[in-house]
Structure 1
Amino acid sequence: MSPYSIHVPAPPPERRGHLPFDSIGDIEVTSRWIERGGRPWIPITGEIHYSRLPRERWSQVLGHARAGGLNSIATYVFWAAHEPEPGRFDWSGNLDLRAFVELAAAHGLDVVVRLGPWAHGEYRNGGFPDWLLDRNLKPRTNDPAYLDLVRALYAETIAQLRGLTHAEGGPIIAAQVDNELYDQPEHLAALRELAEELGLRVPVWTATGWGGAQVPDTLLPVFGAYADGFWEETTTEWPAFAPIHFRYSATRDDVSVGADLREALDGVAAGAAADRADVPFVTCELGGGMHVAYHRRPLVSPEDVAAVALAKLGSGSAWQGYYMYAGGTQRTGPHGTEQESQATWYPNDVPALSYDFHAPIGEHGQIRPHHHALRRQHLWLAADGHRLARMASHVGGGSDEPAELRWAVRSDGHSGYLFATTYQPPKRPLAAQPGVQFSVQFDDVTVTVPTVPVDLPAGRSVVWPLRYPLTPDLELRSATAQLLTRIADAAGDLVVLAATDGIPVEITLGDGTAVPLPTPPGPDCFIDLAGVRLLILDDTSANRLYRLELGPAGHGGLDRFGGERLVLANTAVYAEGGDIVARLETAEAEVSVLIGDAWRTWTLTDSAAGHVLLLADLRLDGGPSPLPTPPTPAPTPPRAPTT
């Protein structure tokens, strides 16, 4: 068959200065990307709720998040947790927002503060205190009585953040106002004005834009994408919205996220927002997993999470934001558990305690496979995100027809990345694609990859570099392996690529020279080229690769290896104070550090590591569990004014 063919011209120039965001510090928002320090930058943000984690576990979770390739975290400020009684604010213990932000900075992470006042987050009343809803006012509007209470909340919150914004040399780069508010653009604009009046200055202001939300021009609309949803009906096999997130598309909106609340509380169906060319494609809720409800308990797999994230990059995302990245535990208050429930007029009954969300980092610190699968993508974005951000997305193929190959190219007109996928969840799998070959037409040359057609196995997502600059004089014309990272050490520049199981690795240089592999892909597959080395890892090793900042002399025998190093570990690790901290889930694990072209390996042992059986063969004394109640709320929603 003929190669799949697409022409990728240079994208139009970005627009600057047209958005009402100040270039605070070195961060600027253009029409196509976020810029930092004068060059495009792709933020990688994971949602972590400080108030749902024990304070003593904050550092461990943030350390794993940084090692997972995040460069920022986002967190909700739940009003009910901080002002349980009118005028009495609590910022102690695991409610210490300031300490959490400072600790994130110590781990090298920027922070996005989701200010509320309404948050949702499966919190009772969406995070509103009960006493607020007992007052004669109209919440989530510009009702002066409501805004007076919000002013007090914002003033207390902003006081906690004083000195920690990006403009002040701190980690806070962005703030979100409210959440999933779709019909009050004047109120959203007023919330930003109020926060700025109280002294909060950040380079980026956001509001959730899904479901056709009316977002004012003073806020950047941000979007989400979930592989499944607990809010769907019990009888739904797979939500109608989910399939689009596994293929490449210019559509940013998802009309399903938050639609259950909108329909239940307001009786209004969600509509789709028009895609805007004046703002970059920003996400804040790529599903890092999925919560469960008593009426519906979807299982989102690690493969689902990684495939959706990669599909959004292929579709043009300029900001990868995950919800959740680390699970936690629902808080308890004067009314008991603070979870969303039908008892508080919401559609869903969710667990009274667990907010695990099947996230990459679990409720109790478990490290799951998607932590590793996503890290591969994040390593790549850290190494070449400044180039990828400039590249526009061109969809070559991929409708809702499952037999059609799904593929796209992101390109700046001269170079790019080719995305292709045969992955969709097992409930609706895609078939393998035989004899696959692509012809990508740049303005000055056509690149055919691979040079000989290959079979693309089922259940794979690939990203292949096109015309990647290895040195000023040497180009990687194409490769059927994914770029992982690029690092410089005493031996020179090293470019690391990852093979995909079932797909032969083909490396072609700019002059058409095919580069043979000296060994099968793996930790020892080094290739010496003029001015640069390549390392081609196998799929398993790629999932074990970290890039960590190791410390100066006196740190655990690593004194000779200070600075950024590539680390291979068959257990979860992170860096803290220059040391490697390992989470052992088995009695023995190996950690290797790359020095030149050789790996130095340590074997870690702990006979106590592993799983401990706590309880087994539990039986219910009270008979069978009650049937779940369908997601239909009580007739008096909390958004209505009360007297």
Structure 2
Amino acid sequence: MNPPADITVTPRWIARDGVPWFPVTGEIHYSRISPERWSDVLGLARAGGLTSVATYVFWRHHEPRPGEFDWSGPRDLRGFIRRAAAHGLEVVVRLGPWSHGEVRHGGFPDWLVGSGVPTRRDHPEYLGRVRAFYAQIVAQLEGLTHDDGGPVIAAQIENELADQPEHLATLRTMAEELGLQVPLWTATGWGGARLPESLLPVCSGYADGFWADSLAAWPSFCRVHFHYEEVRDDLGVGDDVARALAAEATSVSPSAAPLPTAPQSPDPQTPFLTCELGGGMHVAYHRRPLVSGEDVAALALATIGSGSVWQGFYMYAGGSNPFGGGAAHPDGEQESQATGYPNDVPQISYDFGAPIGEHGRIRPHYEMLRRQHLWLAADGHRLAAMRSRVGGGSAEDPHSLRWAVRSDGDSGYLFLSTYVPDGHLDPQPALQLRLGPEQGLDASQLVPHEPVDLPAGISTVWPVNLPLDERTRLVSATAELLTRREEEGGAVVVLTARRGIPVQLLLAGAVEVSGPCRATGTDDGDTFVELTADPGPEVLLTCGSVRLLILDEATADQLAVLPVDGRESMVLCSAPVHAEPVHADSVRPAATRLVVHTEEPEVTLDVWQGAGTSPRWRRRLVSAPRAGQQEVLCRSLVLPATAPQPRVGGPEERLAAPADFSGAAVVELSIPEEHLEDEDQGSGQLLLRVDWTGDVGRARLGDRLISDHFWHGREWEMDLTPWREELRRGSLTLELLPWCAASGVWVHPSVREVEDGVVVRSARLIRRERVVVTG
């Protein structure tokens, strides 16, 4: 067994065996996903370019009664970590004890909340309870930490606790005394947090926030994340809960510190690490954001342009709150006004609009983020050591170009943006910038070589002085670096052309270029290259000793790098695909096979054979004849329904989720018997997607609630796979409350103009097949 890598922290980056390292982490909550789905979700996360996953350990999910701990089934933290390791993923364990995560009481068990013991401070009785909980976690992690050759590289202490540095230090010390040894210890650093020196601050940034007031068109705290900025602190994330908890603390201790009113300046001695970049956004009853894939990708890229050296996404995969008996509270396991919080959120659904949805649906930003992550895998070791310098643009000016440069003196990346979620910035005609010492580059140069028009609504990054190999250097390009592969005949560097931006390349010196292009010499003796064909999977240029494969966006969105026949290969697939270990119990990646998840009966799968082969891509068709969809409603329905009287509640007096469904429209859906056969189990999922408009929907099987939905513009999706037996005995009942614009509920302007009432446009059964690719 190889010794574990030496992970260290410098003031500007994290190093792995002395080399700058750029991790990519996504939040996945094991206790919100059935264990049968863990492997697929983790496999898709790895295929999406993650290097690690983060997960909360919700105290209430494990100790429903004092001293009675449960680590079984969906609560099997150890099993989840082992499965992550089998997929080649490292793990960040968010220990709590308070977690938030939109869970009832922030994850505290009801018995603790009702005990009257002061929490989240160095109170002896509270620390005793935490010690018992931490001891259980440490036992689950035995042999799985980094120093033991395992995947657990980091632990986060508490969450969003801004004014108790001594308590945070106590919690780390306690965990270490109990035997937890990891290279990295972190704590959330936003909200003006004061942290002890023993914990690294990690940052956040969201494209929208369900916790904002329902009158906010676009929360002001989100705007900073769409331009390049040195400030890392965010006073907006969870500020409503912070106010509620601060008010409670003040009632106990009038001398409690006030909440900060201005963001902190970044600490020059700590690197810019993130753990909560919005991978989407949850919804509350009063406010229901509709964050797009473009929003998520632009925010993530702006964070890199601002100097991040660790991309951490919350959430990366959605899930469902525990419900229906066991340790679940009869009022639900969700955050609610009934528990003193400002917001009512869905009782079951925690989809979060994430790249991987609550039931495994792959959204566009999964692919958009994967393009960034493949780039970081290829060049993150260089990028992590590059300083960021803001070139222009601000949150207040909608007309000027927003741009920044990260550079190491010799080479770097130019970040450009005309994107904001609430309306695109002006296009930038004839764009050309002079970069030089002010941007950290040793020599002055124009980028791009010839001016190009930059469209409105785009966020992109271009390489500058990128070494392609020892002999060839890309001075500039109007395309994004996607990945690179080393082949026997030399390096293959893959670029992505963005829509509306013509590809031009400038190579240092006189370089012989062949392929579908026009190459000319410049006055400075360099080689200027323009394409003569549209970018795509066959557009390959030979530039000296290097080949450049230039893809269009649609093709780049299909590209993953996966193990095929024992080596990492580029794969194009028209459906989500990942690699899974042949031996599921392996703690380390071993032999793998490809798994395709498809809602179509036929999938194309292309594997890169090499630049010197013909054809370069080997295609095979993957058959899934049972995949597809079937309408279960023959026509659109306009249904009579009566809305209950609006209510407000919680410390912020916000609209409360209705409890009275007596006036709801009721739809009974019978599922055809052929979809309920036993042979389907294990081969895929049976999903129901409802396209509707209204207020709140609930789905029931008899008296059992199996799904809920606050309408916000996306389809309502539920997984019927676990309920096949019940569906044989009866129908599925949908209870739908009507939309009422006058209620004051905020939804996105793009979906807001709907009629009051309930309209069910369609209800479709989806058969998503899981196909193991053999041969």
1:632 aligns with 2:658: no
Paired residue for 1:510?
508
Give the alignment of 1:70-81 within 5 angstroms.
70-81=50-61
Report if the CA contact (8 A) 1:59-1:103 is conserved: yes
Question: 1:405 is matched with which residue?
Answer: 401
Quick one: which amino acid aligns to residue 186 of structure 2? T
Give the equivalent residue in structure 2 for 1:179: 159
**Alignment partner, residue 664 of structure 2:** none
Equivalent residue number for residue 419 of structure 1: 415
SS at match of 2:266: coil
- Counterparts of 2:649 and 2:426 in 1: how far apart (Å)? 35
8 Å CA contact retained: 2:449, 2:476: no
In structure 1, the residue matched to 2:579 is 575
SS in 2 for 1:241: helix
Whether the aligned pair in 1 keeps the contact of 2:503 and 2:530 (CA below 8 Å) is no
Measure, in 1, the Cα distance between the counterparts of 2:8 and 2:95: 21
Matched residue, 1:33: 13
* Correspondence 1:584 to 2:603: no
Task: Name which of structure 1's ranges 208-217 and 442-451 shifts more when overlaid on structure 2.
Answer: 442-451
Whole-angstrom CA distance in 2 between matches of 1:145 and 1:618: 57
Query: What TM-score comes out, normalization by structure 2 length?
Result: 0.76
Decide whether the 8 Å contact of 1:82 with 1:89 is kept in 2.
Answer: yes
Question: Which has the larger displacement, 53-62 or 469-478?
Answer: 469-478
2:541 aligned counterpart, secondary structure: strand
Offset of residue 629 of structure 1: 2.7
Contact 1:447 1:477 in 2 (8 A): no
Corresponding residue number in structure 2 for 1:366: 361
Shift in alpha-carbon separation, 1:24–1:494, aligned structure 2, 3 A: closer
2:623 maps to amino acid: T
Structure 1 residues 533 and 205: alpha-carbon distance in aligned structure 2, compared to 1, 3 A threshold: same
Contact 2:465 2:475 in 1 (8 A): yes
**Which residue does 1:549 correspond to in 2?**
563
Determine if contact 1:212/1:274 at 8 Å carries over to the other structure.
no
Q: Which moved more, 1:373-382 or 1:460-469?
A: 460-469
1:290 aligns with 2:303: no
Distance in 1 (CA, whole Å) between partners of 2:644 and 2:259 is: 33
Say if 2:94 is the partner of 1:120: no
Q: Which residue pairs with 1:160 in the alignment?
A: 140
Contact 2:400 2:426 in 1 (8 A): no
Partner of 1:226: 206
Aligned to 1:6: none
Which residue number corresponds to residue 192 of structure 2? 212
Greater alpha carbon shift after TM alignment, 334-343 vs 250-259: 334-343
Which amino acid in structure 2 is aligned with residue 345 of structure 1?
A: G
Aligned twin of 1:352 = 347
How far off is 1:104 after superposition?
A: 0.2
Instruction: Work out the CA distance in 2 between the residues paired with 1:56 and 1:536.
Output: 39
- The aligned counterpart of 2:72 is 92
Q: What pairs up with 1:418-437 in 2 under 5 angstroms? A: 418-425=414-421, 427-437=422-432
Answering whether residue 624 of structure 2 is matched by residue 606 of structure 1, we say yes
Which moves more between the two structures, 165-174 or 608-617? 608-617
Residues 625 and 604 of structure 1, relative CA distance in 2, 3 Å threshold: farther
- Aligned residues of 2:90 and 2:151 also touching (Cα < 8 A): yes
Shift in Å at residue 65 of structure 1?
0.2
| C-alpha contact (below 8 Å) 2:378/2:483 kept by paired residues | yes
- Looking at structure 1, the residues matched to 628 and 10 of structure 2 have their Cα atoms a distance apart, in angstroms, of 49
SS in 1 for 2:143: coil
3-state SS of the aligned residue for 2:288?
A: coil
Task: State the 1:620 CA deviation.
Answer: 7.5
Q: Which amino acid is 2:282 matched to?
A: H
Alignment partner of 2:453: what SS?
strand
1:415-452 Cα offsets, whole Å, 9 max, x none, are 10000011111x33212111110111145422211122
What residue identity is the alignment partner of 2:449?
Answer: T
1:261 corresponds to 2:241? yes
Amino acid at match of 1:230: F
What letter matches 2:643 in structure 1? P
After superposition, the Cα gap between the structure-2 partners of 1:519 and 1:237, relative to the gap in structure 1 and judged at 3 Å, is same
Instruction: Report the Cα distance in structure 1 between the residues aligned to 2:640 and 2:58, rounded to whole angstroms.
Output: 36
| 1:618 to 1:199, Cα distance in 2 relative to 1, 3 A | farther
Selected match of 2:294 from 286, 303, 320: 303
The residue aligned with 1:473 is 471
1:323 corresponding residue in structure 2: 314
Matched letter for residue 625 of structure 2:
S
Name the SS of the counterpart of 1:57 in structure 2.
helix
**Aligned pair partner of 2:39 in 49, 59, 65:** 59
Give the Cα–Cα distance (whole angstroms) in 2 for the partners of residues 346 and 265 of structure 1: 9
Cα distance in 1 for residues equivalent to 2:55 and 2:228 = 29
Q: Secondary structure at the match of 2:341?
A: coil
Superposed CA deviations along residues 469-491 of structure 1, whole A, max 9, x for unmatched, are 11112211111110000111344
- With over 3 angstroms needed to count, the CA separation of the structure-2 counterparts of 1:135 and 1:631, relative to structure 1, is closer
Counterpart of 2:187, as a letter, is A
CA 1:319–1:444 in structure 2 vs 1: closer, same or farther (change >3 Å)? Answer: closer
Is contact 1:24-1:203 (8 Å) kept?
no
Partners of 1:614 and 1:184 in 2: how far apart?
55
Bigger shift: residues 24-33 or 565-574: 24-33
Cα displacement (A) at 1:579: 1.8
Gaps of 5+ in 2: 248-257, 510-525, 582-591, 655-775
SS of aligned partner of 1:382: helix
- Answer whether contact 1:233 1:630 (CA < 8 A) is retained: no
Map Cα deviations across residues 52-78 of structure 1 (whole Å, 9 max, x no partner): 001100000000000000000000000
Distance in 2 separating the partners of 1:296 and 1:162: 42
How far does residue 37 in structure 1 lie from its aligned partner after superposition?
Answer: 2.1
Q: Supply the distance in 2 between the matched residues of 1:626 and 1:609 (Cα, whole angstroms).
A: 43
For residues 555-597 of structure 1, what are the alpha-carbon distances to aligned partners after superposition, in whole Å with 9 as ceiling and x for unaligned?
A: xxxxxxx300001112111111322211112222211001013
Corresponding pairs, count: 602
Alignment correspondent of 1:19 = none
* Paired residues of 1:325 and 1:359 also in contact (CA < 8 A): yes
- The alignment-based identity, stated in percent, is 57
Q: Which residue number in structure 1 is paired with residue 671 of structure 2? A: none
Q: Which amino acid aligns with 1:600?
A: R
Per the alignment, in what secondary structure is the counterpart of residue 221 of structure 2?
Answer: coil
In structure 1, distance between residues paired with 2:167 and 2:405: 39
Cα distance in 1 for partners of 2:653, 2:293 equals 35
Q: CA RMSD in A?
A: 1.8
Where 1:162 maps in the other structure, the secondary structure is coil
Query: 1:612 Cα shift?
Result: 4.0
Secondary structure, aligned partner of 1:195: helix
2:337/2:649 contact within 8 Å kept: no
Distance 2:313 2:505 in 1: 33
Q: Which has the larger radius of gyration?
A: 2
Is the 1:422–1:458 contact (alpha carbons within 8 Å) kept by the matching residues of 2? Answer: yes
* Alpha-carbon distance in structure 2 between the residues aligned to 1:55 and 1:626: 40
Amino acid paired to 2:50? L
**SS in structure 1 at match of 2:78:** helix
Q: What is the identity, as a one-letter code, of the residue corresponding to 1:573?
A: V
Find the counterpart in structure 2 of residue 539 from structure 1.
553
1:193-239, CA deviations, whole angstroms, 9 ceiling, x for partnerless residues? 00000000011100001010111111001110000000011111110
Instruction: Give the drift of 1:633.
Output: 5.5
Q: Which amino acid aligns with 2:358?
A: E
CA positional deviation for 1:163:
0.3
The equivalent residue for 2:533 is 519
Q: Deviations over 1:511-539 (max 9, x none)?
A: 22113436321101111122221101111
Aligned to 1:529: 543
Partner of 1:5: none
- Alpha-carbon deviation of 1:614? 5.2
| Alpha-carbon distance in 2 for matches of 1:392, 1:613 | 54
Cα separation, 2, equivalents of 1:94 and 1:621? 39
Contact 1:468–1:476 (CA under 8 A) maintained in structure 2: yes
Write the distance in 1 (CA, Å) between the matches of 2:318 and 2:639.
27
The whole-number CA distance in structure 2 between the counterparts of 1:509 and 1:457 is 25
- The whole-number CA distance in structure 2 between the counterparts of 1:403 and 1:634 is 38
| Structure 2 residue aligned with 1:376 | 371
Higher RCO (CA 8 Å, separation ≥ 6 residues): 1
Q: Aligned AA for 1:401?
A: D
* Contact 1:517/1:527, CA 8 A, preserved across alignment: no
| TM-score normalised by length of structure 1 | 0.91
